[in-house]
Amino acid sequence: MPKASLSHSLLVSFIIASIVVTASFAAVRGQILLYLIPATISLLAIISLTKIKTPLAKETDFLAKLAGIQGLKSIQDALLTYIGEGIIVTDPEGRIITINKWAELILSTTAKEAVGKHLGDLVLIEEEKGFFITLDKLVRRLTAFHGRKTQAVLHVVQEDKTTSLALATTIIPIIIEGNKQAMLFVLPDTNREKESERVRTEFLSVIAHQLRSPLGSMRWGMEMLLSGDVGAISKETRETIDQMYESARWMITLVNDLLNVSRIEQGRVPNEPELIDYLEIVKTVIKESELDAKKKQVTITIEVKTDLIPMVMLDPIRFREVIQSLISNAIKYTYPQGKISIILANDNKNLQIMVADSGIGIPEKEQPKIFSKFFRATNAIETKAEGTGLGLFVVKSYIEAWEGKIWFESKEGKGTTFFVQIPIEGKMIIQKLPQDQKSKVTNQNDQPRTTTSI
Amino acid sequence: MTNQEQPQASKKLILVAEDDQFYANIYKVKLTKEGYQVVLASDGEQTLKAARLKKPDLILLDLIMPVKDGFETLKELRGDSNLRGVKVVVLSNLGQDEDIKKVRELGATDYLVKTNISIQKVIDKIKEHLG
């Protein structure tokens, strides 16, 4: 029986008093029926007193319920369902024991399917930039780090099997007993991630646009100074302005690259196909690159397989950008006196382009990341050549918009060969069009692509 | 094509439609140096007036201008039967595909993006278009 408080005692006293009074009254009157009154009061008193609890008692009872396993589980369920992040708990063997609603959505699975499955079957774990690790290795690595969190990027391969969703995940090992540990994975809220990615892209786009005007003015201003048309300049002045000019040109390339990338990220890959003489475009790009190639005494050769289809339906501006990017990379990363060979061929289905250089190559460990945004291989960075790391990302996006493929073979120190395959079935003609029917309005761009990179 | 010496009177006339004084001056200096006659207009209305009055051989047209922008101006130029044969080279800082397409559809002869091209290249292109 709960400990009574003062008011409680007063209440009890009052009830006892009323029972005594009404019982006495009944006795005095001598009527049996009158005994019903105290009897009722007593009955009611017993019922309510056992139910009436003091505030302290109420709390104690509530806590008792809470401490109950049922209560805890309800709270846990509520937490897991409504928390805005994905939660996965794996057992010491790496199998999923708990997965919340968000994680189900992110992994495109259901608790029913996922529980019992090895997490390694559903995601790839990138521990550090470029270094992937198995779940078992991760578990062993984090043994004895109970409660200490670590970060890794989990890659969820999407349905199309060629893209993956990268999630910055927090991993917390939890020692269960001895050296057996469960792992708690906290996956970010992808909606929030997508939203911030979108905001970031838009921000980049706005800034890049704003930068173009002043950069354009600077460029032409310096060209005017260098040409002498606004007054003669000394040799020292010329050298200084030359230096500034190069920087301005580089900034313009950066801004253009950023604009391209943000457009691609927003899903707006520009693609305006026309009937183009692609061989002509390749030859023009090679001619424009001659100066840079000469500086390094690098020779560029072009080989054209026989009965090459003369014209195909492709976006001329983007095709030119792709060729410029590949050739400029080849020149940039080829050793002096090296060789670059370009081969063009086609069959009925595809246009094939091969750009082979005898340059620094791409280290094997870094090859999977070559087409990623902002990625530059360590040996490329070491050459001190400028690069944004955006070139190949953009090139790949364009080629994929044409439903084509790009891949490469490379050996560090020996060279790299890029292969491009673009489907042209139903998009080509056999004969060359007369000159005046070719499109004249083009977006001429003489920005050097020497500044985009692997 | 034979190389003939042009007498002073038949120097080709270029109408420059550009509201930014910095750029307008650059065009004037460079084009005059090449031997062309140059007339400046700083908004769309002025451009149309000058075009109708002077009948230029080529118009260098900026897209972002006050009063009437380059797109509107180009439309009206092409709508004028007297001016249909005039070469119009659009020179702008907008590099978007949508703009290039629109300009093409409106009948421009060429489209150049200021930021991505050198002054000399612009001059070379103009020379090319004027034969």
pLDDT digits (tens, 9 = 90+) for A96-109: 999 998 898 888 88
Q: What are the chain B neighbours of A215 within 8 Å (beta carbons)?
A: 115
Predicted local confidence at residue A161, as pLDDT: 66
Give per-residue pLDDT as tens, A228-280: 988 999 999 999 999 999 999 989 988 888 888 888 887 788 888 888 999 99
For residues A27-35, give the mean pLDDT: 81
Distance CA B106, CA B65 (A): 17
Minimal Cα distance from B98: which residue of A? A270
Q: What is the pLDDT of residue A72?
A: 76
Q: What is the pTM of this model?
A: 0.61
CA distance B61 to B44: 9
- pLDDT score of A106: 84
**Which chain A residue's Cα is nearest to B20?**
A217
Q: Name chain A contacts of B97, Cβ cutoff 8 Å.
A: 270, 272
* Residue A121, pLDDT above cutoff 70: yes
Segment among A167-181, A397-411, B21-35 with least mean pLDDT: A167-181
A452 has pLDDT over 50: no
Residues in chain B: 131
In this prediction, residue B27 carries a pLDDT of 96
Which residues, in sequence order, are bridge partners of residue A151? A170
> Does B91 or A180 have the greater pLDDT score?
B91
Phi, psi of A329 (to 5 degrees): -60, -45
Q: Which residue has the higher pLDDT, A201 or A403?
A: A403
Torsional sign, CA A400, A405, A410, A416: negative
* Residue of A445, A449, A451 to mutate, interface with B, max B Cβ within 10 Å: A445
Q: Report the amino acid identity of residue A54.
A: T
A223 against A177, higher pLDDT: A223
Mean of pLDDT over chain A: 82
Q: Does A272 touch chain B (CB under 8 A)?
A: yes
Is the pLDDT assigned to residue A453 strictly greater than 70? Answer: no
Which of the four pLDDT bands, split at 50, 70 and 90, describes residue A369?
A: confident
pLDDT-derived band at A440, boundaries 50, 70, 90: very low
Closest to A183 in 3D by CA, of A89, A306, A63:
A89
Residues of chain B with pLDDT under 70: 1-10
User: Is B29–A229 a contact, with Cβ atoms under 8 angstroms apart?
Assistant: yes
Can you tell me the distance from the alpha carbon of A338 to that of A385, in angstroms, rounded to the nearest whole number?
16
10 Å Cβ neighbour count for A224?
A: 18
Structure confidence at residue A419 (pLDDT)? 96
Determine the pLDDT at residue B37. 95
Contact in structure between A116 and A95 (CB atoms under 8 Å): yes
Radius of gyration of chain B (CA): 14
Q: What is the DSSP string of A213-279?
A: HHHHHHHHHHHHHHHTTTS---HHHHHHHHHHHHHHHHHHHHHHHHHHHHHHHTT------EEE-HH
Contacts of A20 (CB under 8 A, 6+ apart): A38
Distance CA A132, CA A340 (A): 33
Closest partner residue to B26 (CB to CB) among A212, A224, A270 is: A224
Please report, in angstroms and rounded to a whole number, the separation of the first and last CA atoms in chain A: 80
**Interface touch A444/B115, C-beta < 8 Å:** no
What ipTM was predicted for this assembly? Answer: 0.87
Please give the full DSSP string across A97-132, using - where no structure is assigned. Answer: EEE-HHHHHHTT--HHHHTTSBGGGT-EEEEETTEE
Distances in Å between the Cα of A80 and the Cα atoms of A54, A107, A113, A148, A229 are 34, 16, 18, 21, 71
Nearest to B26 among A220, A252, A256 (CB): A220
pLDDT score at A436: 43
Q: Which two tokens stand for residue B113?
A: 């993006």
- Which position has the higher pLDDT, B96 or A4? B96
pLDDT band for A145, please (50, 70, 90 cuts): low
B22 contacts on A by Cβ (under 8 Å): 217, 221
Residue A413 touches partner B, C-beta closer than 8 Å:
no
**How far is Cα A363 from Cα A410, in angstroms, rounded to an integer?**
8
Q: Give the pLDDT confidence score for residue A67 in this predicted structure.
A: 65
Confidence class for position A12, pLDDT limits 50, 70, 90: confident
Residue A141 or B116, more confident? B116
Average pLDDT over residues A366-391: 82
Number of H helices, E strands in chain B: 5, 5
The pLDDT of residue A381 is 83
Please report, for residues A282, A395, B30, the alpha-carbon distance to residue A409 in angstroms, rounded to integers and kept in the order given: 21, 17, 48
Query: In angstroms, how far is CA B124 from the centroid of its own chain?
Result: 13
Q: What does the block give as tokens for A360?
A: 């620094």
Phi and psi for B127 in degrees, rounded to 5? Answer: -60, -40
> How many CB atoms within 10 Å of residue A315?
20
SS3 A176: strand
Contacts 24+ apart (CB under 8 A), A95-104: A95/A119, A97/A182, A102/A187, A102/A189, A103/A185, A103/A187
**Res A148 pLDDT > 80:** no
Min mean pLDDT across A3-17, A222-236, A281-295, B82-96 is at A3-17
| Smallest Cα distance from B47 to chain A, Å | 22
Q: Would the CB atoms of B112 and A272 count as touching at under 8 Å?
A: no
Q: Is residue A354 pLDDT above 50, yes or no? A: yes
pLDDT of residue A70: 72
Cα angle vertex A385, ends A383, A390, to 5°? 115
Q: Which of B116, B122, B124 to mutate to test the interface with A (most CBs of A within 10 A)?
A: B116
Tell me the sheet residues that pair with A343.
Answer: A303, A354
**Residue A107 contacts residue A190 (beta carbons within 8 Å):** no
Q: How many Å lie between the alpha carbon of A215 and the closest alpha carbon of chain B?
A: 7
Q: Cβ(B28)–Cβ(B36) under 8 Å?
A: no
* pLDDT, tens digit, 9 for 90 and up, residues A63-84: 666 667 777 778 888 888 888 8
Q: Give the model's pLDDT for residue B20.
A: 92
d(Cα A437, Cα A129) in Å, to the nearest integer?
51
Across the interface, do A441 and B110 touch by the CB < 8 Å criterion? yes
Query: What does A371-430 look like in DSSP terms, one character per residue?
Result: TSTT---HHHHHTT----S-HHHHHHHHHHHTT-EEEEEEETTTEEEEEEEEE-TTSEES
Per CB-CB distance under 8 Å, the chain A contacts of B122 are: none
Considering A200-204, A342-346, A347-351, the range whose residues carry the highest mean pLDDT is A342-346
